[in-house]
A = this chain, B = another copy of it.
């Protein structure tokens, strides 16, 4: 049952349109917040909040590079498989 809770928590972290978009971005490679913001039409604080949620869920992490944070996927295969599942019209 705690297994189910973990799985549900993971799904909850993904279950948001902006976070899906972030994850999709990250499948194309490491991205810093600034670059993501230009592509995503979200405010900077809100983007930070979403990134924090993904990080907490163990899906993303970041590397510090000067004043920038470069985010990347921790479980790229999982994310990519999930995305491809979602993108199938039927089944």
**A: which residues have CB within 8 A of B?**
1, 4-5, 7-12, 14-21, 75, 77-78, 81-82, 85-88, 90-91
Contacts and interface: CB of A to CB of B under 8 A. Distances in A.
A21 B16 CA distance: 22
For the complex of A and B, list the 3 residue pairs with the smallest distance between their C-beta atoms, beginning with the closest: A11-B15, A77-B91, A4-B17
A9 B14 CA distance: 10
Contact of A78 (B21, B78, B91): B91
A87 B3 CA distance: 9
A1 B77 CA distance: 23
Contacts of A87: 7
A8 B16 contact: yes
Contacts of A91: 75, 77-78
A87 B86 CA distance: 17
Contacts of A78: 85, 88, 91
